[in-house]
Structure 1
Amino acid sequence: MLPGAAVALTGLLASGCTSGSGSTAASGSASPSGSASRTPSAAPSGSGTDLQSDYQRVIRNVLPSVVQITSGDSLGSGIVYDAKGDIVTNAHVVGTAQSFTVTLANSTTPLAATLVGSYPDSDLAVIRLSSPPGSLKPASFGDSSKVEVGQITLAMGSPLGLASSVTQGIVSATGRTVTEPGGNGSPGATIGNMVQTSAAINPGNSGGALVNLDSKVIGINTLAAVDQELNGSAAPGIGFAIPSATITSIADQLIKDGKVTNSGRAALGVTARTYFDSNFQPAGAVIVSVTQGGAAQAAGLQPGDVITKLGDTDITSLNSLTTALAALTPGSQVAVTYSRNGQSQTAQVTLGTLPTS
């Protein structure tokens, strides 16, 4: 996931917000961070006072749109999506709950909310306030395709139960493909095109906003890295946010239909499992079945074929196949290298769309 770095990923769920302890379960919220969508020439070039004024302006504009979400003894964050009371957050923040308590940034009065829909494959969900106040301020979402490395970001949310907290950093990388920690024996979601940020992200931040200096939300902060060599301690300055393009696509579908009808995620059209060689080492992904009329079947792939490469990416397990597919888009063509009866072959496959049910 991060070559050469001994890091893993942890969800950002604050469990028991008054205790200040963070759980490593795959649920939580991330604080909003801002990333400047300006070109380098348009970035603040004056005194430190000018940049400070920019920060304060963004905070005034966006922080009222960031909320705290409580379900049982778990706490996360969310972003006001529209004036009807829809709030977008991470699917791992809502979990299996159907009802929630929401606290607005400018209020101490808890508000009731219920689940509109959840899509764990992209770790996104929408909840709705039962009685939205007239003062509700929806956030403005930016174009995440224009986010560039080095742009300034602000992260807003409720880390460790500290409501309306703000941290700052930069966009460290774009286009990251990240697999979340799983739970109950199941693998976590693999999400492509994530924004990596150096803005501090802590338990309770999941579902919060990553914001640029134009006061636009460019992502939902979702995960932070941990250093396996330091007993799972947080790896400072390595956090990940789901991009705004994914947020708005999934949220719009959940609000309209209560479910996702177009995932926007690439699919090979196979059911597969990890293949182990004669030394019992993972050596590919063996196809168990192919989807009728799917991408793999159209390209001539069959059950029993062992996929060993997708494009230029080596495939050694089912997880590596899933991760490689998450970085691709439906309709794109990719070379699939596979072994059949001990013979290596290659097929050109036009990828389909991941089913939503």
Structure 2
Amino acid sequence: MDARRSRGPRPGPSVVVLLSCLGLLAGCSGSSSSRGRGDSTRQAAVPEAVGAVDDLEDGYLRVIKDVLPSVVQIQARNDLGSGVVYDEQGHIVTNAHVVGDERTFRVTTANSEDQLTARLVFSYPEQDLAVVKLERVPQGLKAATLGDSSKVEVGQIVLAMGSPLGLASSVTQGIVSATGRTVTEGSGNGGTGATIADMVQTSAAINPGNSGGALVNLDGRVIGIPALAATDPGLGDSAAPGIGFAIPASTVKSVTDQIIENGRVTDSGRAALGITARTVVNDDYQAAGVAVVEVLAGGAADKAGLEPGDVITRLGDEDITTLTSLSEALAADKPGERTTVTFTRDGREKKVEVTLGEQ
């Protein structure tokens, strides 16, 4: 599933109600002292509400001015996306599905219309992240500051920055709708098919071209890299409004630091069984498990005694019906953890303990 790719906020409903009430009271007669005190209380509340709106607008403007220069547009041969300046050496982090199979890119920064050339450092489709590096670092290039994923809370106001539909340096706003989501991308339309854990769900609009950009809190810290939006099969797989997902900053930092230091990812932190497998169906053509096709020698499944032909139906407490459900179950675990695998062999159900390996 690929990413679905300003004026300050208006006073909210509570402010409108206050103003309406004041207008109504002004047209009414009455001389009681209690009514007069009520009028003055309402009149005092109006500037407080307006002041709160002004403070919020100032916060938006401050964050946009501070962070937007660190968000770039990335143009591959046929695809367009966004990226975030990671350091002053010209490293830019983006999505793996933005870079695709390309190795060179045209990058446009927020402060210039000049196109810069960047080259791929490494792409890691398993987490849908990639790093490119500018061949020439322009003067004044500013790196973004990444936030602490553990402090992201539902209800926080966030801004999504990127190049939706090619509209560079665009900003949308919303809130953090949920945290800890495990989401699987589609493998069509350039998607990597990755299963990513701990994603941040947001109501901020995520459209094609926002991929690889920045999801930013009002402290001016990047808390995630927007990667995809939910689709609604009932609407022909069109985007489901207000349901977007961003890769958490902790994952972005871990993967990007490894790529910059080693040229690749050396410690994925992703649990694996060490098998090649496929989804199997039952007599009603319903997905019914994951058949082991090949077992990696010395891997977790091999050590646990799994064999080709075994059909996995549960991992721990999770029912397994498809490869996607297996990937999502593994995404919640860590290498080295012990769990159980329930499977069928020759028509008989069996269960073994397994120490998970690393992908």
Is 1:131 matched up with 2:136? yes
Does the 8 A contact of 1:78 with 1:209 survive in 2? yes
Could you report, residue by residue, the CA deviation over 1:229-248 in whole angstroms, capped at 9, with x for unpaired residues? 22333211000111111111
Contact 2:83–2:94 under 8 Å retained in 1: yes
Provide the residue aligned with 1:164 in structure 2: 169
Structure 1 unaligned regions, length at least 5 = 1-8, 13-21, 23-44
Is residue 2:102 matched to residue 1:69? no
TM-score, length-normalised on structure 2? 0.83
1: CA distance, partners of 2:154 / 2:353 = 33
Counterparts in 2 of 1:330 and 1:212: CA distance versus 1, 3 Å: same
Q: Aligned partner of 1:95: which letter? A: G
Quote the offset at 1:50 in angstroms: 1.6
How far apart in 2 are the matches of 1:139 and 1:316?
A: 41
Q: How far apart are residue 185 of structure 1 and its match?
A: 11
Given candidates 346, 350, 354, the residue that maps to 2:355 is: 350
The AA in structure 2 aligned to 1:105 is A
What's the counterpart of residue 24 of structure 2?
Answer: none
Q: Percent of pairs identical after alignment?
A: 63
The question of 1:255 aligning with 2:247 is answered no
Residue type of the alignment partner of 1:68: Q
The structural deviation recorded for 1:209 is 0.4
In structure 2, C-alpha distance between the alignment counterparts of 1:179 and 1:141, rounded to whole Å: 24
Change (3 A) 1:232 1:279: closer
The answer to whether the 8 Å contact 1:160/1:204 transfers is: yes
Q: Which has the higher helix share?
A: 2
In the TM superposition, what are the counterparts of 1:48-197 in structure 2 within 5 Å? 48-183=53-188, 188-197=193-202
Partner of 2:3: 11
Q: Which residue is equivalent to 1:15?
A: none
Q: CA deviation at 1:298?
A: 2.4
Question: Please, which of 252, 275, 278 is the counterpart of residue 270 of structure 1?
Answer: 275
Q: Matched residues in 2 for 1:185 and 1:219: separation? A: 21
Distance in 1 of aligned mates of 2:170 and 2:152: 23
Report the alpha carbon displacement of residue 186 of structure 1 after superposing the two structures with TM. Answer: 9.1
Residue 312 of structure 2 corresponds to which residue in structure 1? 307
Superposed CA deviations along residues 9-45 of structure 1, whole A, max 9, x for unmatched, are 4334xxxxxxxxx6xxxxxxxxxxxxxxxxxxxxxx9
SS of aligned partner of 2:2: strand
Cα deviation per residue 1:37-91 (whole Å; 9 max; x = unaligned)?
xxxxxxxx97122221211111111111000111224211000000110100001
Cα distance in 2 for residues equivalent to 1:82 and 1:101: 18
How many equivalent residue pairs? 315
**Residues 2, 208 of structure 2: 8 Å contact kept:** no
Matching residue's letter, 2:154:
V
The equivalences for 1:309-348 within 5 A come to 309-348=314-353
Q: 1:187 to 1:73 in 2, by over 3 A?
A: closer
Deviations for 1:227-275, whole angstroms, at most 9, x for unmatched residues? Answer: 2222333211000111111111111122122221211111011221112
Give the partner amino acid of 1:11.
A
CA distance in 2, matches of 1:223, 1:281: 28
Q: Residue 341 of structure 2 aligns to which amino acid in structure 1? A: V
Tell me how far apart the structure 2 counterparts of residues 187 and 70 of structure 1 sit (CA, whole Å).
18
Matches within 5 A, 1:159-238: 159-183=164-188, 188-238=193-243
Kept in 2, the 8 Å contact 1:140–1:216? The answer is: yes
Distance 1:201 1:11, change over 3 A: closer
**Mapped partners of 1:193, 1:287: distance in 2:** 27
Q: CA RMSD in A?
A: 1.9
Q: Does the residue aligned with 1:207 lie in a helix, a strand or coil?
A: coil
Contact 2:276–2:293 (CA under 8 A) maintained in structure 1: yes
Q: Is contact 1:330-1:352 (8 Å) kept? A: yes
- Equivalent residue of 1:323, what SS? helix
**Per-residue CA distance 1:116-150 (angstroms, 9 max, x = gap):** 11111111111111110120000011111221211
CA contact (8 A) 2:290 2:312 kept: yes
Distance 1:353 1:73 in 2: 34
